[in-house]
Amino acid sequence: MNVFFRALAVLLVGGSLLSGPMAMAGDGRAALERFLGGLETFSAEFSQTLTDETDFLLQEATGRLSLAVPDRLRWELDGPFAQTIVADGEFLWTHDPDLRQATVRPMDQALGATPLALLTQPRRLDERFDVAEETVSVGYRLVLRPKTPEADFTRLELDLAEDDRLLALNFQDVFGQRTEIRFSEARRNPRLAPAEFQFNPPPGTDIYRP
C-alpha cells in the first residue's frame, strides 16, 4: 500500500475542532476550523496526479470519497490501478481487485503523522507538524512539515476556498514524488447509508493481516 493510501487511515479518526492553546492565528487555520465545524458527513469526486522529482507525470486517476465523523471512510480509486479503502470504525480495509487481495489493519495501528492527520486530529496539529501558511491566488493554503523522521512525507499542502470549501490536498513523499488531489462535486453533510462504510471481501480474495 503506497504512502497516500496509508494516509487515508486517519482521515476521520478524531474530528475535534481547534481550540485552546493549540489554535494559532492565521486565515488558513481559521478556514480549516470552519470547514471542520459541524462536519458530520462529506462526499466528493476527485482527480489525482502523481509526478516524480523531475515533474514527469507517472499516473492520473479519478475516484470518489465518502466519510462520516468520527471514523468511517470509503475511498474508491478508478482504473487502471483500481483500489478501494474502507474504514469501518474498527478496521481499515484496502482492496486491490486486480490482485484479488485485501489487507486489513486495526485503525489504531494506522494513526500517526500522515498527510490526512490534519483533518482528523487538528488539536494535535502543532504537536505533530510544523505549520505555516502561504499566499495563493485563490483561498488559503496551509503547509505542514512532519516533526517525526518516520513520517512518509516531507511536505503537505491543504488548500481551502474563501468560503471554506476543501479544494485540494497535495503532498511530497520522501522519494520526491508529488501527489496532487483536487476535489469536486463536494457535498457537506449528505445522508450516507451505513453500507457505504462496510466491506465484504469478494469470493476468492486473499486477506492479509500484517
- Burial of 28: CB neighbours in 10 Å, binned 0-12, 13-18, 19+: buried
CATH code for the part of the protein at 3-208: 2.50.20.10
Torsion of CA 18, 23, 26, 30, to 10 degrees: 20
Residue by residue, DSSP assigns 54-104 as T--EEEEEEEEEEEETTTEEEEEE-TTS-EEEEEESSEEEEEETTTTEEEE
Instruction: Provide the whole-model pTM.
Output: 0.77
Residue extents of the structural domains in the chain: 3-208
**pLDDT level of residue 151 (50, 70, 90 thresholds):** confident
Strand arrangement of the beta sheet that strand 140-146 belongs to: 129-134, 140-146, 153-160, 166-173, 178-188, 41-51, 57-68, 72-77, 83-88, 91-96, 101-106, 206-208
Say whether pLDDT at 209 is over 50.
yes
Over range 124-141, report the average pLDDT: 80
Residue 5 · residue 84 · CB < 8 Å: no
Say whether pLDDT at 190 is over 60.
yes
